[in-house]
A and B are shown apart, each in its own frame.
Chain A
């Protein structure tokens, strides 16, 4: 995770749920294939358009739903960070624990248009629309959360602390 990201913003609405990002049928697939089904009904074809470094921007109550590790799919697609007006708390910590920055910035969906380039300073929780837009800021993540992100999520830390042998794969599959 780098401190400042530059990429395109994909803007979504309120209460985008986990089943929309990681549908039940995709849970039967290897994660690389499951990643092709993110937003399958909400925005078909999106996984062909998203590029490494892009940022997903959403409205209120982003990620309501299950504990499925959607962040794994976003990371496989190259999504660099999530930004929302408000996150579901399970979804927020589930993203961070898989090493995907999730930054709360009230007012963000009004400040950026779909497809616009942005920079995102994760430590400062500030998003700036390009070129030359007005920055919008939220409350920075606590220091220990930034530390989890800096480590790449929880699993590298467990490996470093000797709980797990070398493999740094994610711990298991989603839940309902």
Chain B
């Protein structure tokens, strides 16, 4: 039927045999995720909602509450969850950044549609889910009606070949794509090919998360064996229906990426599109703050590589390293495995799980004139604090190695 993954999911969800770019479809949404900020201002109490079992609430952006307004939002969220019987309520202590919580609890499943009030909801595309961020009022509307509309965008296919080298992460794959091909506004992305099997699930989620940074609509991966094993661990009873692209699917463009040839990349401040470079080109840049966290890079594997880089080393004088686990579960597991001890001994500050520093809201803002290297989602001007700070972006390994050196550094030289 000549459809890409996202076209097939949207066709099924809207009861169509076939959809093509330009079509507008109305879909039932399988899972809708509300976040704490949505409750913190002007939450009109709903009279009825579509289905509490297709709803989740995650406290993530401003936890533990850094202001009275955020604390008041928590009060509203808890009352709402109780009144409407929302069982998937991830309150402070069993919380995490929503996209991590979605993954840990298998709320995103192959072939399904997931909507959430955060632009990085495309993260769940790693699980073969049609997932995207929508504005607060639209998420509220879906909560009430159970539906929304999408316009089918043309799909760009990334055909992955070769093997992902050691110390090269999903962040590097994404930065290579963003730096080489620029933005993908009003397009969806699909990644696949024989090289995909060499990319772990955490790295796939990093890539899917960052689809938003090149303005893509949806970013989807196929549900291969590795993906299905990941989901089976978290939802053993689930009846999963993976969606593969048709052999004759029509793409706006097909671009081959040779994973074997990739190296560490760093994006210069301002954005990632047409703005990422091999780390070797930026190694003279001195840094004041290094950050490892967010939905993109606060995963257990990200903390593991940071700990291995920092084991027996120290964060350089004059540099702050902030590490934010993506969820309470990641925090606890990193604690059990000793990663947090290693990081703390090296001089890193470990925070509770939150979106905090990534969006310049709390726990790690930048002052004027400061330079940050971040393994998080976004490096817009002013994103993490002062508009007069500079935010570079790299992988957790690159950030950890740079924190030790005090300047942007290739991690392969440190862990060689």
Is B361's beta carbon under 8 Å from chain A? yes
Contact code string A11-22 (vs B, CB < 8 Å = 1, else 0): 000010101100
Residues of B with C-beta under 8 A to A87:
185-186
Contact residues of A: prevailing secondary structure: loop
Pick the interface stretch among A106-114, A117-125, A157-165: A157-165
**Stretch with Cβ within 8 A of B (4 or more), from A47-55, A75-83, A88-96:** A88-96
Q: Does A97 interact with chain B (Cβ within 8 Å)?
A: yes
Question: Per-residue CB proximity of A36-72 to B under 8 Å, as 1/0?
Answer: 0000110000000000000000001100111101000
**Which B28-47 residues have C-beta < 8 A from chain A?**
35, 37-47
Q: Quick check: is A132 within 8 A (CB to CB) of the other chain?
A: no
Is A86's CB under 8 angstroms from B185's CB?
yes
Say yes or no: B387 contacts A61, CB within 8 Å. Answer: no
Kindly state the separation between the CA atoms of A51 and B408 in the bound complex, as whole angstroms: 45
Residues B359 and A89 in contact, CB atoms below 8 Å apart: no
A28 to B61: give the CA distance in the assembly, Å.
Answer: 12
Interface contact B186-A97, CB-CB below 8 Å: no
Task: A164 to B133: give the CA distance in the assembly, Å.
Answer: 23
Contact check: which of A23, A60, A65, A172 meets B42 at CB < 8 Å?
A172
Range for the number of chain B residues in contact with chain A = 35 or more
> How far does the Cβ of A87 sit from chain B's closest Cβ, in whole Å?
8
Task: Compute how far the CA of A33 lies from the CA of B53 in the bound complex, rounded to whole angstroms.
Answer: 37
Chain A residues close to B by CB (< 8 Å): 15, 17, 19-20, 23-25, 27-28, 30-31, 40-41, 60-61, 64-67, 69, 86-90, 93-94, 97-98, 142, 144, 153-155, 157-158, 161-165, 167-176
Q: A17-B380, A87-B186 are in contact. List 9 more A-B contacts (CB 8 A).
A: A24-B359, A25-B360, A30-B41, A64-B185, A154-B140, A169-B44, A173-B38, A175-B38, A176-B37
14 contacts between A and B (CB under 8 A): A19-B378, A24-B359, A41-B381, A64-B215, A65-B119, A65-B212, A65-B378, A89-B186, A90-B135, A164-B46, A170-B137, A175-B38, A175-B133, A176-B118
